[in-house]
Amino acid sequence: MKALLKYEFRKTWFAKLIFLGITAVAEIAFLIGIALGPAHETGERLVTIGALVLFMVAMFGVFIIGVQSVLTLHRDMNTKQGYMLYMTPRTSYQILGAKTLENGLSILLSGAFFFLLGFLDITLLFSRFGTLQQLWDFFQDMLHAINKEITLNTQTILCLTVSFLASWLATVSMAYLADILSSALLNGKRFNGIITFLIFILLSVLLGWLQDVLQPARVAIDAGLLIRGGVSLAFSVLLYCASAWIMDRYLSV
C-alpha cells in the first residue's frame, strides 16, 4: 500500500507544485501589501490582488486535485500505462484504495492548509486594516438580521469547509465509480458515455436525498453541516467498496 500511495502522489505532484508556487507568490504579495499598510496605495493593491489569487487557488486547487485524480484513474484503466499498476501483485481494493486515500488526503491537506492560511491572513488583515473589521461586523449583523441562527464565526467556517471537502470527496468517488463502470462493464457498448453520465447524475441525486433524509429537521447549522459531511464520507466508503468490487471482477487491461 505504501508503494502504491507513493506512486499515486508522484503522478499528481507536478500540478500540486504549480499550485504551491502560485500560492507562495500570492502570499508574498499579500504580506508585502500588509507590511506597507493601508496608507500606501500599492499596499492596498497588493493585498487585494494577493487575497483574490489566494481565494481562487484555494477554490480551484481543491477542485482540480479531484478532477486530476479522476483523469489519472481513467488513464490507468484505458491506456497502456495501466500495466504498471495491474501487473503488480496488488488487488483492485489496494489500487483503488491508494487512489482514494491519496485524493482524500490531498483534498483534506490542501483544505486544511488554505483554511489555516486564510485564518492567519484575515487575522493579520484586520489587525492592520482596522476599517475592514467594521465592514466584517456590518456583514455579520446583516446575516444575523436575516436569520438569527447564522453567525459567521471560525467554528461555522470550519464546519462549512469540512462539509464542502467531504462532499467533494464523495463527488470524486462517484466519478470513480462511473468511470470504472464505463471501462469495465460498458466498454465498447453503445451509449457508454451517456449511460456513465446518467449514473453519475443519479448517484449525485441519491447523495443529496440521503443528506436531506438523514439530517434531523431541527438542528443547529454547524451540526447540520457536519451531518451532511458525515453522510458524504459514509457514501464515499460505500462507493469505494462497490467500485473496487467491480474492478476486481470485471476490469481487464
Partner 1 sequence: MLKSEDIVRRFGAKTAVDHVTLSLEAGHVYAMLGPNGSGKTTWMKMAAALMKPTEGRMLFQGAPVSVESRRHVAYMSTEPYFYSWMTVRDAGRYYDDFFEDFSMSHYEELLRDMELEMSMKTRTLSSGMAAKLKIALTLARDAQVYMLDEPFNGIDLLARDQIRACILREATPEKLLLLSSHLVEEMEAIADRAVFIRQGKLIEVCDLEQLREQRQQSMADRYREIYGHAEVAQ
Binding residues for partner 1, how many (CB under 8 A)? Answer: 22
User: Within a 13 Å sphere around the CA of 118, how many CA atoms are in the beta-carbon half?
Assistant: 18
DSSP 219: -
CA distances from 19 to 55, 56, 145, 202, 221 (A): 12, 11, 38, 32, 32
- Which residues, including other chains, have CB under 8 Å from residue 186's CB and lie 6 or more apart? 192, 195, 196
Kindly tell me which residue out of 11, 16, 40, 74 binds partner 1, with binding defined by CB under 8 A. 11
SS3 of 124, please? helix
Residue number with CB closer to partner 1 (93 or 136): 93
Closest separation in Å from C-beta 23 to partner 1: 23
Q: Which of residues 153-192 bind partner 1 (CB under 8 A)?
A: 188
Q: Which stretch binds partner 1 (CB under 8 A): 1-9, 152-160, 220-228, 238-246?
A: 1-9
Kindly tell me which residue out of 39, 41, 80, 218 binds partner 1, with binding defined by CB under 8 A. 80
**Residue 49 interacts with partner 1 (CB under 8 A)?**
no
Residue number with CB closer to partner 1 (119 or 191): 191
Contact 171, 238 (CB under 8 A): no
Closest separation in Å from C-beta 90 to partner 1: 7
Residue with cell 482524500: 104
Residue number with CB closer to partner 1 (83 or 197): 83
Q: Is 153 left (phi over 0), alpha (psi -120 to 50) or beta?
A: beta
Residue number with CB closer to partner 1 (82 or 104): 82
User: What residues line the site for partner 1 (CB under 8 A)?
Assistant: 3, 6-7, 10-11, 14, 80-84, 86-91, 188, 249-250, 252-253
